[in-house]
């Protein structure tokens, strides 16, 4: 279910409840079941949805609500709060400081949009007066360096990589050192992806991470991967210290559920979303407006 449809289904469920003359246990259950169905169809992980339903039932005790209280409003607010709670891991991501060199390492499966997102992230900061630089430590995919080079050139961002060197750790270390010397304040390391969550990918990520000591590791996830989101995000988190998430391809037929699962699995906030193939199709992620939009 795409984002707009999810918002529609949830607000319809709340509306139906609003239309009921009396709000009793059955009306509340029907409403929550409807919302549950919408969230599951939108790829929110089953356990998250089940916990949310239990929490809402705990908060909204119909018997205890004094007569005259706006029960509909209370339920609506409870749904809003629960969705916000899932998306807010309770601690903000490391925030690089302008003028002070920070290393940010990007990880994710091949095709997730990692390389594109590295440039978007660099471009976003460059527009705000930062001095970003891109390092291509993906020696696995043929053409990865060319792609990064092309993007970086278009955005006028310095880059580092090699056609000859096959050791990603060596390239990463050299790139980071060079850009530190050049006083870049945001050194972005693009790492290799694989089609599957293979051990060799995780081992390589661990090595690059140990060698470059990133201040922040960003996990990039394609929003269209469906119910696989939780397990995939968790597998990355178990291998490297993921500290933030970027969800790509939120345009088109994007489902919102993956974002909730990725946060739950990594205990890290979503910081940006990708909304298209172009460099400027990139938005800061804010929990409350996102949930408001979700609820229609
Ligand atoms: P990588 O293998 O993870 O580095 O993925 P790429 O950066 O090469 O991206 C894979 C494909 O996804 C490319 O065709 C990108 O243009 C596309 N892509 C990346 N981000 C987005 C996005 O936010 N929206 C859309 N529609 N396409 C995207």
Which residues make Cβ contacts (< 8 Å) with residue 241, sequence separation at least 6?
209, 217
Quote the tokens at residue 35. Answer: 């919302």
* Out of 28-32, 123-127, 173-177, 206-210, least confident range: 28-32
pLDDT (mean) for 186-214: 93
Q: From the CA of 249, how far away is ligand 1's center (Å)?
A: 7
Average pLDDT score, the chain:
89
- β-pairing, 282-284 vs 270-274, is antiparallel
With beta carbons less than 8 A apart as the criterion, state whether 222 and 248 touch: yes
Residue nearest to atom 12 of ligand 1 (CA): 113
As a whole number of angstroms, the distance between CA 225 and CA 37 comes to: 18
- For 226-268, write each residue's pLDDT tens digit: 888 899 999 999 999 999 999 999 886 666 778 888 999 999 9
Q: Is the CB of 274 under 6 A from ligand 1?
A: yes
Q: Is the CB of 113 under 6 A from ligand 1?
A: yes
Q: Is the CB of 42 under 6 A from ligand 1?
A: no
The pLDDT score that the predictor gives to residue 293 is 73
Quote the tokens at residue 142. Answer: 């043929």
Q: Is the CB of 177 under 6 A from ligand 1?
A: no
- For 55-103, write each residue's pLDDT tens digit: 988 888 776 655 556 777 777 888 889 989 999 999 899 999 999 999 9
Which of 172, 170, 155, 161 lies closest to 119, judged by CA?
155
Quote the tokens at residue 275. Answer: 């909304």
pLDDT (mean) for 5-12: 75
Give, for ligand 1, the residue of 106, 112, 113 to mutate: max count of ligand atoms closer than 8 Å to Cβ.
Answer: 113
Q: From the CA of 275, how far away is ligand 1's center (Å)?
A: 10
Compute the residue count for the chain.
Answer: 296
Lookup result for tokens 């890290």: 268
User: Positive or negative, the Cα torsion across 144, 147, 149, 155?
Assistant: negative
The pLDDT score that the predictor gives to residue 296 is 65
């Amino acid at each position: 279910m795409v984002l707009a449809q999810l918002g529609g289904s949830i607000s319809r469920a709340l509306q139906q409840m609003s239309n009921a003359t009396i709000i009793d246990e059955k009306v509340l259950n029907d409403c929550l079941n409807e919302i549950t169905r919408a969230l599951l169809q939108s790829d929110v992980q089953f356990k998250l949805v089940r916990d949310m339903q239990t929490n809402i039932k705990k908060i909204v005790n119909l018997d205890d609500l004094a007569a005259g209280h706006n029960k509909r409003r209370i339920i609506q607010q409870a749904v809003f709060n629960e969705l916000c709670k899932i998306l807010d891991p309770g601690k903000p991501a490391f925030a690089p400081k302008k003028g002070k060199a920070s290393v940010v390492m990007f990880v994710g499966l091949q095709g997730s949009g990692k390389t594109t997102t590295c440039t978007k992230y660099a471009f976003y900061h460059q527009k705000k007066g930062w001095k970003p630089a891109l390092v291509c430590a993906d020696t696995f995919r043929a053409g990865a360096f060319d792609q990064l080079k092309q993007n970086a050139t278009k955005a006028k961002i310095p880059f580092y990589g090699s056609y000859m060197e096959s050791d990603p750790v060596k390239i990463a270390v050299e790139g980071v050192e060079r850009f530190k010397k050049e006083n870049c304040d945001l050194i972005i390391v693009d790492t290799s992806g694989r089609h599957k969550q293979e051990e060799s990918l995780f081992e390589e990520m661990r090595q690059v991470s140990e060698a470059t000591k990133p201040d922040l590791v960003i996990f990039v996830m394609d929003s269209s991967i469906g119910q696989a989101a939780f397990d995939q995000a968790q597998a990355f988190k178990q291998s490297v210290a993921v500290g933030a998430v970027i969800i790509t391809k939120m345009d088109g037929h994007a489902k919102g559920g993956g974002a909730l699962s990725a946060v739950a699995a990594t205990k890290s906030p979503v910081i940006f979303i990708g909304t298209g193939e172009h460099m400027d199709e990139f938005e800061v992620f804010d929990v409350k407006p996102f949930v408001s939009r979700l609820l229609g």
